[in-house]
Amino acid sequence: MPDPVNFAVIGCGSMARGSHIPNLAQSNKARLHTCVDVNQSVLTELQGKYHDIRTTRDYRVAVADPNVQAICLATTEQLRLPVIEAVAKAAKPIYVEKPLARSLAEVYEIQRVVRQAGIPFCVGHNRRCSPAMVEAQRIFRQHMEHPAPCRWRFDRNPQERPRLPDDGVAGMSVRINDDWYSWKQWVFDKEQAPHGPMLFEMTHFTDVCNWFLAAEPEEVIALSHEPFNHGVVIRYADGQLATISMSANGTFAYPKELYECFGNGGAVIIDCMLEVRTAGIADAPARKTYAMIHDRHPQIGTEGGVSGWLSKKRAACAEAAAAGDTSLVLAANPDKGHAAILDQFVDEIQGRGPVVCGVDEAVRATRVAFAAIKSTQEKRAVRLEEV
Ligand SMILES: NC(=O)c1ccc[n+]([C@@H]2O[C@H](COP(=O)([O-])OP(=O)(O)OC[C@H]3O[C@@H](n4cnc5c(N)ncnc54)[C@H](O)[C@@H]3O)[C@@H](O)[C@H]2O)c1
């Protein structure tokens, strides 16, 4: 495989135009070679911006092109299996946006096709490549596997303390604040997104829980008041629990994601990929902040982290209100790993790096989301082997 790797992007909508296309164009590991979309006006706009790309409205043309070495599939989940089958037949690597598919039957068929073809395959659970998440996961796993409790840990009665099998077992919570006024029309189309955010958002978070807790998810119980409020609890084979709370009647003026992981007398907190805080873990940094993307206000909130972000966001919201342009609130984004996941997938393709989020990990995260959906429908706990 030559270096850099030539990519064709299939589906050049807002996700691709906002992230994958500029990220591929700027990468020194990958090259933006072809853009595919059924909408000619999108292709014309892209030709005006990226002069040396090829364009086509037929994904089969791009897949068959010998100069296209890898595919980035960023259509909505209405189009997955036919493209993956064509790419598998051409024996090319493929990155696929989340969710992997709209139904469990299609999920399992994709898994079969990918395993049989043996192609490098990556699903866009990009938080696995966010700098803050990567560092937090490493600290948490290290502490879970080689506990480093602090000598000051309050211990009321060491001699009398009962010896309990769950001593140290981790629990984690994920809190999502979203504003549904920002959602696209297709989200409400049952043909395109039959399970709404319980699938297309949830797989990000079930994947993070699986990754941080590093155990087999066994049982899920969920309550949902469609389409905006969802509560999901996942029990893992070793007794760990993860709780995911998603609210879509929230606000863009407050950070979207909070992850709190506790185990072995320690805590690792990831506040919206802007800062990581730890406590009770000897030698772990107490607080670390991470760079933001598209920061229009570098002179405001210079301390960074959550407090810096809140100051920048207040400035962006004031500008949006004054200009009557609500898109101006989109500034100072946390680095969710969108650029890094493509670069790391290239490393995987080239044999230089590990599997980033392969088909089996993606299927695991998607099955947990489907178990949660079944649980809300049937109002009972659902075991993973049921889905
Ligand atoms: N990983 C993330 O953080 C993240 C964020 C947002 C969206 N997404 C995912 O990305 C995917 C795309 O979302 P979006 O918001 O960009 O949707 P979108 O509707 O803006 O874009 C989809 C594009 O696909 C094109 N398309 C449809 N059928 C096609 C075909 N047969 N061949 C070629 N192009 C075709 C459409 O014309 C459109 O331009 C979704 O699955 C969504 O869940 C992921």
158 and 98 share one domain: no
Instruction: Give the CATH number of the domain where residue 248 resides.
Output: 3.30.360.10
From ligand 1's centre to the CA of 116, what distance in Å?
26
The two three-digit tokens of residue 61, written as one number: 């043309």
Protein residue with its CA nearest to atom 18 in ligand 1: 13
Q: Which atom of ligand 1 is nearest to the CA of 336?
A: 3
Q: Radius of gyration (Cα) for the chain, nearest Å?
A: 22
CATH code, domain with 47: 3.40.50.720
Same domain, 351 and 321: no
Q: Are residues 150 and 237 in the same domain?
A: yes
Q: Following DSSP, what letter does each residue of 286-336 receive, concatenated?
A: SEEE--EES-S-TTSSTT-HHHHHHHHHHHHHHHHHHHT-GGGG--SEE--
Per-residue confidence band for 212, with pLDDT thresholds at 50, 70 and 90? very high
CA distance linking residue 25 with residue 17, whole number of Å: 11
Would the pLDDT of 29 be above 90?
Answer: yes
Same-domain pairing of 70 and 193: no
Judge if 254 and 284 occupy the same domain: yes
Do 214 and 110 share a structural domain? no
**Residue 382 shares a structural domain with residue 344:** no
Residue pLDDT, tens place only, 50-83: 999 999 999 999 999 999 999 999 999 999 999 9
Q: Are residues 118 and 155 in the same domain?
A: no
Same domain? For 273 and 149 the reply is yes
Taking residues 126-132, what's their average pLDDT?
Answer: 98
Q: How large a percentage of the chain has pLDDT more than 90?
A: 96
**What is the reported pLDDT for 129?**
98
Show the domain range for 30. Answer: 5-126+340-358
Say what the pLDDT of residue 1 is: 81
Lowest model confidence (mean pLDDT) among 36-40, 184-188, 200-204, 370-374: 184-188
Q: 207 and 354 share a domain?
A: no
- For residue 39, the ligand 1 atom closest to its alpha carbon is 37
Convert the pLDDT of each residue in 271-301 to its tens digit.
999 999 999 999 999 999 999 999 999 999 9
Check residue 323 and give its pLDDT.
98
What's the confidence (pLDDT) of residue 2? Answer: 81
111 in the same domain as 154: no
- Count how many domains the chain has: 2
Is residue 137 domain-shared with residue 283, that is, in the same domain? yes
**With bands split at pLDDT 50, 70 and 90, how would you rate the model's confidence at 221?**
very high
Question: How far away, in angstroms, is 75 Cα from ligand 1 center?
Answer: 3
Predicted local confidence at residue 226, as pLDDT: 86
pLDDT per position as a tens digit, 293-335: 999 999 999 999 999 999 999 999 999 999 999 999 999 999 9
What is the best residue among 15, 20, 94, 201 to mutate for testing ligand 1's pocket, by most ligand atoms within 8 Å of CB? 15
Q: Which two tokens stand for residue 199?
A: 């699938």
What secondary structure letter does DSSP report for 249?
A: B
Whether the predicted pLDDT of 177 surpasses 90: yes
Burial 94-112 (b: 16+ CB within 10 A, else e): bbbbbbbbbebebbebbbe
**Residue 257: what pLDDT?**
98
Q: Would the pLDDT of 266 be above 90?
A: yes
Q: What's the chain's average pLDDT? A: 97
